[in-house]
Amino acid sequence: MVGGCGVTAINEKHLTAGLTSAQVAERVSAGQVNVQPDRSGRSVSDIVRANIFTRINAILGVLFIIVMSTGSIINGAFGLLIIANSGIGIIQEIRAKKTLDALAIVGQTRPMVRRDGVAAEIDPGEVVLDDIIELGPGDQIVVDGETLESASLDIDESLLTGEADAVDKAVGDPIMSGSFVVAGSGAYRATKVGRDAYAAQLAEEASKFTLVNSELRNGIDKILKIITYLLIPAGVLTIVNQLFISENGIKASLLGMVAALVPMVPEGLVLMTSIAFAVGVVRLGRRQCLVNELPAIEGLARVNVVCADKTGTLTENGMRLSELVPVQGDRTELEQALSALAAHDPRPNASVQAMAEAYPDAPEWSSSSIAPFTSAKKWSGISFSDSASGEARGNWLLGAPDMLLPPESETASQAGELGSGGLRVLLLASTDVPVDTEAADGLSAPGALTPRALIALEQRVRPDARQTLDYFASQDVSVKVISGDNAISVGAVAGSLGLGTVDDAVDARTLPTDTDELADIVDTHTTFGRVRPDQKRAMVGALQSRGNTVAMTGDGVNDVLALKDADIGVAMGSGSSASRSVAQIVLLDNRFATLPYVVGEGRRVIGNIERVSNLFLTKTVYAVLLAMTIGIAGVLGKIFGFTPMSYPFQPIHVTIAAWFTIGVPAFVLSLAPNNERARTGFVGRVLRLAIPSGIVIAVCTFVAYALVYPGGSGLELGSKDSVDMTPDQMQAATTALITMIAISMWVLAVVARPYNWWKIVLLTVSVLMYVLIFSLPFTQEMFKLDPTDWGKTAIALGTAAVGIVAVEILWRLNPAIAVWTSKLKVRSKESNTADKVSGAGER
């Protein structure tokens, strides 16, 4: 409440004592308690089941059973992927769940409940049926109930009903969970708790640990759909070739079939995405940042406009009374009025707390009527009388000078001069009628208003605010300061931080309602004062209409609508429970400086998953193409009467091929630091690199295999029930494998750019591991490798060199291809638009 006194008018004689301890215990034993949904949406058992019973695990499981039926245990090594995928996913998601649950306890709404005649804050999960819950401005309604006491109690139900206007609640009116108090105070009795409450289902769905509405996840899903269409023909062709055309026998054919199908499955892509998000939650949790919706980590990395509230964001919540400037009346009387206003406010904000600290000795006055503060009118007031004699002590108002005074008045000019120095200025005034007298417009002060004093409050700018704003400026993220305070005061504070000037500050009362006109002004100005809640929402919408991705920060009930509509809502932990409930991210330590870390975490997730996706999809592309190429060669061989070409690899070969070209590097890259700026077009960029690279690897591997494959009757086939490879088969498979691994390693080197020391170490270790695998007799025998024929190995290295050059050329041409593709899309869109216009003209 900005300078307001949302003072309770609840008559103390009518206070309800609430339930007794015995009654509470009785209701708890009867299960009439507000059971809260799991913060992360899934229990540990749900997480375990969800990570084990996946489509990818099912595919790999079936293929593993087929391999085990042949008796070749070593070729079933890929089955370890099932354990690895499930185990890593379970561990990371449980870690993220624990972090979310722990932070949710810190940041959750704590209702004020009366029990045994005493009001105290309790956890929302401890509320029982028939509890009496007190309400004040900004409070979130945690359970359904019936109004028992109302002092101008206005509740916003827009989050439930879509109705923008606050609803006045009289005694007996129903109150729904999920709504929040915008003005006044009161109390209500809980009539529905737990899952019976109106908003329980909404809350349960909204708080799930989920990746929905993530551009990154949607892109991966789109890619997986494309892969699915490719897998069907490739898989069918491989099965036909291995089981019906190949002459290798049933067991060898089954192994070849499995070896062809396993690398087609991008088993780690979804896993790495989940891990990256989960690790992001844990990292941000260490910085006291609660992520209500997981895609917010990604979304904030794409933000290019941040709308920041001044109070509580750029400045600290605490204030100090700098000066009391009397306008009319005795200073002692004015100090008594301020002290009484502060003492009668049950939920004082920073402004009122500053006055209470300055004037702690409150007079023995009682309230006869009140006018609670609202964001629309920017003032509040109380009519007082002497508690002992009943003598009237005046009708006092406290609020914004520019809302209560004519702009040409001398007092308004004096307030402007005080505010131009960055001070927050409030007006103390009196009227000749009770403060709850309704004005004609519902916003103006009642009766004849007399200015009595100006109160100057000193706001402390956060020490880390300038550094945070400089970071956003360096990242081309523009910052708009939107506040309900006086525009001059807001401009002075923002100007001290390098954001615009006092002269550039815009008074929101002059803003147009048209979205295009509003967007023009918001685009060209930085600082805005006297912004109403509906205007904050409109300004966010205007920025979004120009293609901006908008983040909104705030801590008050007046920020809720804008927080809800922004692409990313960021609330302060000390803010109202309503603002925390609608925000995707809550900064529990109230530090605006935490936002750059959230942006950095989002960039790490996006950039690293893009790199990892390149690796996995390259493997899928070359696996599909290689299987189709060899399958077609097998069919042609059958038709034209020469020895059919069977799949070169056994499952163990494709397993080791993925270890150090994809598996280990992908895990490291997915968790590594990454400060690359987030860009749209994730799917296009990944496919532009993965498809050409996959084609090169498939073609070069097939050529190397065809060059060393004897063909005709020169290949001695193994017995029909044997899974052992003949020497010629093993050498041909080794040649093809060396080619495939070498080019895949270069794709990894391309994806890892730009290099630093740890990436160089990663690449070096990966290469050395393959050198050891191919050179040690023990590993040669275990993994069925035979690189001893130097002629064939030379063919492999020569073919790989050609493939490496091709991958490098394609990578260097990639930016030009991207520009060309973009131009084609623009031309296509323009052509479609022209056709539509032409068609409309003809009609």
- Of the listed 139, 156, 309, 786, which one is catalytic? 309
Question: What does the block give as tokens for 423?
Answer: 């001070």
Q: Is 156 helix (H, G, I), strand (E, B) or coil?
A: strand
Question: What does the block give as tokens for 370?
Answer: 């009140």
Distance, CA of 563 to CA of 307 (rounded, Å)? 10
410: DSSP letter = H
Determine phi and psi for 575, rounding to 5 degrees. -75, -175
* DSSP string across 350-372: HHHHHHHHH-----SEEEEEEE-
- H, E, C per residue of 75-90: HHHHHHHHHHHHHHHH
Beta bridge partners of 397: 381, 429
The secondary structure element, H or E, covering residue 481 is strand 478-482
CA neighbor of 568 nearest in space, from 555, 549, 587, 554: 549
Please calculate the CA angle 305-306-307 and round it to the nearest 5 degrees.
115
CA neighbor of 380 nearest in space, from 756, 806, 8: 8
The secondary structure element, H or E, covering residue 325 is strand 315-326
Distance, CA of 458 to CA of 481 (rounded, Å)? 18
Q: Answer for the pair 709, 717: CB distance below 8 angstroms, yes or no.
A: no
Question: What does the block give as tokens for 145?
Answer: 């109930």
The secondary structure element, H or E, covering residue 203 is helix 200-206
For residue 648, CA distances in Å to 30, 257, 546, 633, 703 come to 68, 10, 55, 12, 12
Q: Answer for the pair 506, 473: CB distance below 8 angstroms, yes or no.
A: no
CB neighbour list of residue 180: distance below 8 Å, 6 or more residues apart: 138, 139, 140, 141, 155, 156, 159, 557, 560, 576, 577, 578, 581
Exposed/middle/buried for residue 263 (C-beta within 10 Å: 0-12, 13-18, 19+):
buried
CA neighbor of 57 nearest in space, from 267, 229, 257: 267
Distance, CA of 507 to CA of 267 (rounded, Å)? 56
B/e letters for 583-611, b = 16+ CB within 10 Å, e = fewer, are bbbbbbebbbbbbbbbbbbbbbbbbbbbb
For residue 215, CA distances in Å to 26, 294, 570, 646, 688 come to 49, 12, 19, 41, 18
Distance, CA of 474 to CA of 356 (rounded, Å)? 42
Instruction: Name the CA radius of gyration of the chain, rounded.
Output: 35
- Within 13 A of 68's CA, how many CA atoms are on the CB side? 9
* Residues composing the chain: 843
242: DSSP letter = I
Distance, CA of 42 to CA of 687 (rounded, Å)? 34
For residue 384, CA distances in Å to 653, 660, 676, 693 come to 87, 78, 61, 80
309 is catalytic: yes
Provide the residue type at 654 as one letter: V
243: DSSP letter = I
647: DSSP letter = P
Q: Residues with catalytic annotation?
A: 309
